[in-house]
Amino acid sequence: MTDRYILSLDVGTSNVSATLLDHNCNSVSTEQKPITHFSPHPGWSEEDPEEIWRNLLSCITNILIMGKIKPVNIAGIGISNQRETTIIWNRHTGKPIHRALVWESRQTENIAKKLISSGYSNMIHEKTGLFIDSYFSATKINWLLSNVEGAQRQAEQGDLLFGTLDTWIIWKLTNGHTHVTDYTNASRTMLFNIETLKWDQDILTLLNVPRKLLPEVKSNSEVYGYTDEKTFFNVKVPIAGIAGDQQAALFGRFCTNPGDVVSTYGTGAFIIMNTGSDIKLSDRNLLSTIAYGIDGKVTYALEGSIFVAGAAMEWLKNGLEMIDNIEDAATMADQSTDNGQLYVVPAFTGLSAPYWDPNANGASFGITQKTTKYDYIRATLESIAYQTTDIIYSMKNDTKLDVRSLYVNGGVSTNNYLIQFQSDISGIDIYRQNTSDADLRGVGFLTGLAVGFWEDLDEIKRHSGQGKLFIPKMTQPRRHILYRGWQRAIRAVREYTNDID
């Protein structure tokens, strides 16, 4: 295996990435390129699927050149992706009918509200594990079919295909020969029954989504197809791993036991708990979803999503111009002297789990004449940890499982101030990987297992460490005071917004 590699691809919200993993689980070559965002109207978020494909192919080309590695030495390809983002394209021409609707886009809120007011909340929650929201793919598909001229008719004739980004990339890699997705991405569409593991006809009929539009759903670790020589450097390489980015990170941190929790801090933040072979429907507005399916066995999870994490840092940099470089935020937060009295609630696109309040707006509480930009930076970082703690507490109450450790990854997890405060305010140990690409590693592991690159998960674990440990330093009374202040801030935001006529 010394001259063989696993190629892991990741299509994130802000960037596309590619990395090559060797048999010792080391990344030998990595490349990343940004994705252009479009916002035609406030709250809308769109991306160009063709640009995503071009940038990803450029990343692959560059890492092969930089690593001096021949395409024939790639043992398998795995794909991790931002979930829920929706693309519909023409199966004959390969051209998208519209830009991709990104997971965070709110342009389908009216469709979601109509479903809720019509009384479909319980039915959809019981079948899919999800709560009705424009976040998920179902309303986005309905919007595209309704708003692009002729799309509904073409879909019913079988001329169009739907996919999340994993499906789109595989279709491109195979030159249109393979139209598939996996359990994890399917479970985030709000169209997939997570108990029967099939597209749910009742929901398809409700949203007027033709079955022939949808991809075939597969497990997370198997050979789905092969790259086409015309598309991929004149070689046929097995594509053998798919997972939504958060589930890939869960697997990449070896969170394979019930109660294991991983948090990914990127543009948003996503906290996901392994709940084992049982579906746990949440009483606290968390999402029930599929963690992964391997060798005929499906493992489930609970997840809470935070819409704004790294995006809050971008806001401090580009919106308020308080920081020149996001990497400086931890050092600047350490210069704050307000002792935690300032609270920032960055509800730029509403509040996500466990509140699911799309009407909420951002706010700040506790500003005085002595408040400085350092206090504001600190409070914004702390808001990410507070929201994560909201979700961890909800998970513990929903499942009655003890959470003793949290495994973190993602670009924002490199901020030492944030991760130490996260440990302090939640009162649990935190392990941070030496690398921030747990999703790329996780889907790489799934791929390698499918093609025999590694014998089993134990072999992979022998090559991987736990990472840096952060332990709580805050006293319980202090933790209680700070968290109670956060809860007051959340209540105030919700009361203010929902009182507006």
Residue-wise pLDDT for 77-113, tens only, equals 999 999 999 999 999 999 999 999 999 899 999 999 9
Q: Is the pLDDT of residue 500 over 60?
A: no
Residue 498's pLDDT band (cuts 50, 70, 90) = confident
- The pTM for the full model equals 0.85
Q: What is the mean pLDDT of residues 16-29?
A: 92
pLDDT of residue 423: 96
pLDDT of residue 67: 87
pLDDT of residue 19: 94
Domain positions in the chain = 5-246, 254-432+471-501
Tell me the CA end-to-end span of the chain in Å, nearest whole number.
Answer: 65
Q: What is the mean pLDDT of residues 216-238?
A: 95
pLDDT of residue 466: 65
CA–centroid distance for 200 within its chain: 23
Q: What is the mean pLDDT of residues 309-333?
A: 90
Q: What percent of the chain has a predicted confidence (pLDDT) above 90?
A: 71
Whether the Cβ atoms of residue 129 and residue 189 lie closer than 8 Å to each other:
no
Q: Is the pLDDT of residue 446 over 90?
A: yes
Q: What is the mean pLDDT of residues 32-50?
A: 94
CA distance 269 to 113: 24
Q: What is the mean pLDDT of residues 260-266?
A: 89
Q: What is the mean pLDDT of residues 362-385?
A: 94
pLDDT of residue 268: 82
Q: Which CATH superfamily is domain 5-246 in?
A: ATPase, nucleotide binding domain (3.30.420.40)
pLDDT of residue 344: 95
Q: Is the pLDDT of residue 442 over 70?
A: yes
The residue type at 152 = Q
Residue 240's pLDDT band (cuts 50, 70, 90) = very high
Range 254-432+471-501 has CATH code 3.30.420.40:
yes
Q: Pick the closest to residue 47 from 103, 7, 5, 6 (CA basis).
A: 103
pLDDT of residue 143: 97
More confident residue, 500 or 450: 450
pLDDT of residue 218: 97
Whether the Cβ atoms of residue 307 and residue 344 lie closer than 8 Å to each other:
no
More confident residue, 440 or 180: 180
pLDDT of residue 210: 97
Q: What is the mean pLDDT of residues 394-420?
A: 89
Residue 1's pLDDT band (cuts 50, 70, 90) = low
The two tokens of residue 301 are 């999870």
Same fold, 5-246 and 254-432+471-501: yes
The two tokens of residue 17 are 């990435």
Q: Is the pLDDT of residue 501 over 60?
A: no
Label the pairing between strands 269-276 and 297-306: antiparallel
**Residues linked to residue 289 through DSSP beta bridges, in sequence order:** 301
State the average pLDDT for the chain.
Answer: 92
More confident residue, 498 or 248: 248
pLDDT of residue 436: 60
CA–centroid distance for 423 within its chain: 22
Q: What is the mean pLDDT of residues 248-269?
A: 88
Q: What is the mean pLDDT of residues 161-187?
A: 97
pLDDT of residue 264: 86
Q: What is the mean pLDDT of residues 178-183?
A: 98
Length of the chain: 501
